[in-house]
Amino acid sequence: MIVRLLSAALVAGFLAAVVATGLQLALTSPLIVAAERYEGRHTHAAGLSAPLPIVLAHAHEGSEPHGAAPEWQPAEGLPRMAFTGLATLVGGVGYALILGAVMLACGREPSPERGLAFALAGFASVALAPALGLPPELPGSEAAPLAARQAWWLMTATATGMGLYLILVRRAAITIFGGLVLIVAPHLAGAPEVAVTQSELPAGLAAQFAARSLAVGFVFWAVIGLAFGWAWQRFGRGREAGAHV
């Protein structure tokens, strides 16, 4: 069971990383590069923090304090592409493992259809719901402290995942009500905000990046779900064939 789970997660993570990395390089990376150039023209900070264009990455530190050493970043071109692909691969395999474990824990035999359904719930939990309060941000955007954003993201992702489980899996009146409360609670509490916004990035550029990031994330999760379900059944048939030899 463990070997089958790991094998299916590796296949799903690899396929999702290939697709998502290509989409990132085509859709979001140009916006990040444009934001970095714009930021370089309009800020006087000595160093700037720019996140790798990783699927579902929301947080970055903005500009460094004056005189601070710049954070390390991969060089433009092939190094950045390689680190983007590697980070997306690691994230894809990790999410695929969680997806498979959740399906098995819920007593659902993985299949492409079930994998897609659970993957869409995962996308809603870790990407869509947090983006309602903390949309994906470009370098140079003003943001609340990183620790506060990470704590709110974790709370929102956990509450949304548990809420969807209560609504879609348990399906009792009381659990549906409890699930709705869990989903809404983080947004009623509110995401951390910046007191004063001084970013000079065009609003249209930021909005375009947020929309494209969510679109790439949706495809990323959909490929994980479909590929995991297919690989799980494929490896299962292989083991059955070996047992009959």
- Residue 214 token pair: 């969510």
Q: Are residues 30 and 49 in the same domain?
A: yes
Q: Are residues 150 and 233 in the same domain?
A: no
Q: Are residues 179 and 86 in the same domain?
A: no
Model confidence pLDDT, tens digit, residues 172-198: 999 999 999 999 999 999 999 876 566
Q: SS3 breakdown of the chain: % helix, strand, coil, rounded to 5?
A: 70, 0, 30
Position 198 in a domain:
no
Q: Which residues contact 238 (CB under 8 A, 6 or more apart)?
A: none
**Structural domain of residue 24, as residue ranges?**
2-59+74-139+203-244
Find out whether 212 and 89 touch, Cβ atoms under 8 Å: no
For residue 63, list its beta bridge partners: 48
- What's the pLDDT band for 207 if we cut at 50, 70, 90? very high
Average pLDDT taken over every residue of the chain: 84
Task: Name the nearest CA neighbour of 20 among 52, 46, 59.
Answer: 52
Q: Are residues 38 and 119 in the same domain?
A: yes
Position 81 in a domain:
yes
Q: Are residues 79 and 16 in the same domain?
A: yes
- Residue 174 token pair: 């009381």
Measured in residues, the chain has a length of 245
Position 233 in a domain:
yes
Does the pLDDT of residue 115 top 90, yes or no? yes
Query: Averaged over 48-60, what is the pLDDT?
Result: 37
Q: Are residues 119 and 46 in the same domain?
A: yes
- What's the pLDDT band for 66 if we cut at 50, 70, 90? very low
Does the pLDDT of residue 56 top 90, yes or no? no
What is the total count of domains within the chain?
A: 2
pTM for the predicted model, two decimal places: 0.83
Residue 62 pLDDT: 40
Q: Are residues 126 and 238 in the same domain?
A: yes
Position 69 in a domain:
no
Position 84 in a domain:
yes
